[in-house]
Structure 1
């Protein structure tokens, strides 16, 4: 009963948006309805030169003129994306699903919809300093956000996830010249000051009912209903969500669930500051010294609290060897690339 109620609440939060038909062109009535739905929810309207894409749904897949075997693989990718916990203990070592961050089955704008990855990769990525493929980008999510080990490149599961990404990008040209509307977790302008204590109070008022006071989230029947935001069940210190601006963008545009953009910019940043100032499993790139690791990856960690002293108690964040429930530090299939 509890599980059913949670699923209903989650799906209901995105119901209005999900009912907009796919494959609409920018000037179609469906596209205009899509944009109106988003603007009515408080999201900005697309700029004149932005690419607006309405990803197809799994219902659209049934009518698609593609090979039945490809349909089966796409369905498998969807299943893995929305229930990544089925890989727990093998590829996933925390309480996260891919859809924990990429809401609306990876289709929701302003919640890092996943289809742009299929049409903008391969591309250079500053996080690891080389050109990444779509599979490598997915692998990074497993290594950091799932605190796990990616499925092998070219494996059935990796191909299925890649196929689902590509299916959602149906109709979009490769390397689009226009900026993509609703891409990523766009953050509001950062306030002059962030408050840990105010963020703690706001978290208790707005977030704890789902994610618990200790940030551990909620699981029902061994399935994640609401993900852990910190602690052993959450992402590790290398995940994109530990960057304050990323967390602030996600919170502003998506939280509380079903009430997007209801928090002020200051409130979103303060909650993000509090959330990313909590401990979590070690960054897989850890060298044995948190300060040295933070410095080595300063282009990433300059935006996080990793290797910094928390104001509330003077704790040096990330100064530990804890890898959560994962019995290793770094996945053996995450390696540098030189193309030489």
Structure 2
């Protein structure tokens, strides 16, 4: 047999072998691929909440969704008896709870109930929201059956239409930053703050209001979140800042700048942790035993948390 004939023979044999194997390959793809593809899609496919224009306009359900959105945007005005500072839900959960990588409300809805080390138990979405009022709003937790809680949960449910329940959802929470190359530094952070943050939040960190409405929230001081809020921890604050700040320019700060300015922001005094035991040292040991918490640390001669 000449060389050309040998090649034709080998190709024919290879094609025959492939054709013979096709039924088995098809069966394997049918039985294995859908589960793998579904899992991959749940992890990588970006979720988009429904557009605001599709919000139901009539009926009790539509009215409750719209009320939940308004409470989210104007929390102090519409839920004032449970709010102790000048923040709104949307101060930290941007674009009315819609923005990915900004603690979006749609991701929270499909992620609870869940174990939370902060609570030491499995918490419901309602309990998670109550914690926001207690810590981030420096207020008190509304009863779970309060109409405003029902409205907030209904708004979250509407935003989460089509989101996979219990899976890993892209855009949930804040994207984690790698450990900083250098130890976060107060002085460097102050420079970043002056250059990129003070225009909106003020040289004194007290934010800006317009006609009594908070436009840019205070970042420390008596009208800001308290020492129990997750944003007081450097890993949370730096991740939020990196992804979202300056407003509309998220991702423009370096990782180190985000860590440094988080250190600067969280090294200022703020309202006391409502779990305060009567001793800053004991409260730190019990609730803030973390390298990322500034509570109980001494900065510029002042022990944070001692007012």
**How far 1:87 moved relative to its partner?**
3.9
* Distance in 2 (alpha carbons) for counterparts of 1:50 and 1:80: 31
Map 1:77-226 to 2 at 5 A. 77-87=68-78, 89-176=80-167, 179-191=168-180, 192-226=182-216
**Which residue does the alignment assign to 1:61?**
55
* Distance in 1 (alpha carbons) for counterparts of 2:53 and 2:79: 28
**How far 1:76 moved relative to its partner?**
0.3
Aligned counterpart in structure 1 of residue 293 of structure 2, from 281, 304, 308: 304
**How far 1:48 moved relative to its partner?**
8.6
Decide whether the 8 Å contact of 2:85 with 2:225 is kept in 1: yes
**How far 1:283 moved relative to its partner?**
0.3
* Distance in 2 (alpha carbons) for counterparts of 1:88 and 1:200: 34
**How far 1:308 moved relative to its partner?**
1.3
SS in 2 for 1:120: coil
Runs of 4 or more consecutive aligned structure 1 residues displaced over 3 Å after TM superposition: 46-49
**How far 1:59 moved relative to its partner?**
1.0
**How far 1:89 moved relative to its partner?**
4.4
Q: Using a 3 Å threshold, how does the CA distance of structure 1 residues 47 and 253 change in structure 2: closer, same or farther?
A: farther
Decide whether the 8 Å contact of 2:102 with 2:244 is kept in 1: yes
Answer with 1 or 2: which has the greater Rg.
Answer: 2
SS in 2 for 1:81: helix
**How far 1:297 moved relative to its partner?**
1.4
**How far 1:51 moved relative to its partner?**
4.4
Decide whether the 8 Å contact of 2:243 with 2:250 is kept in 1: yes
**How far 1:252 moved relative to its partner?**
0.6
Q: Using a 3 Å threshold, how does the CA distance of structure 1 residues 99 and 317 change in structure 2: closer, same or farther?
A: same
Moved more, 189-198 or 142-151: 189-198
In structure 1, the gaps of 5 or more residues are 1-45, 321-340
**Which residue does the alignment assign to 1:52?**
46
Aligned counterpart in structure 2 of residue 316 of structure 1, from 297, 303, 307: 303
In structure 2, the gaps of 5 or more residues are 1-39
Decide whether the 8 Å contact of 1:111 with 1:254 is kept in 2: yes
**Which residue does the alignment assign to 1:32?**
none
Identify the structure with bigger relative contact order (alpha carbons < 8 Å, sequence gap 6+): 1
**How far 1:303 moved relative to its partner?**
2.2
Deviations 1:216-235 (CA, angstroms, capped at 9, x unpaired): 10011110000000000100
Tell me the C-alpha RMSD between the 2 structures.
1.8
**Which residue does the alignment assign to 1:19?**
none
**Which residue does the alignment assign to 2:247?**
257
* Distance in 2 (alpha carbons) for counterparts of 1:219 and 1:208: 14
Decide whether the 8 Å contact of 2:202 with 2:208 is kept in 1: yes
Decide whether the 8 Å contact of 1:81 with 1:105 is kept in 2: yes
Deviations 1:69-109 (CA, angstroms, capped at 9, x unpaired): 11110100000001112146411111101000000111101
* Distance in 2 (alpha carbons) for counterparts of 1:121 and 1:150: 18
| Larger helix proportion of the pair | 2
**How far 1:169 moved relative to its partner?**
0.7
* Distance in 2 (alpha carbons) for counterparts of 1:49 and 1:170: 17
* Distance in 1 (alpha carbons) for counterparts of 2:220 and 2:41: 36
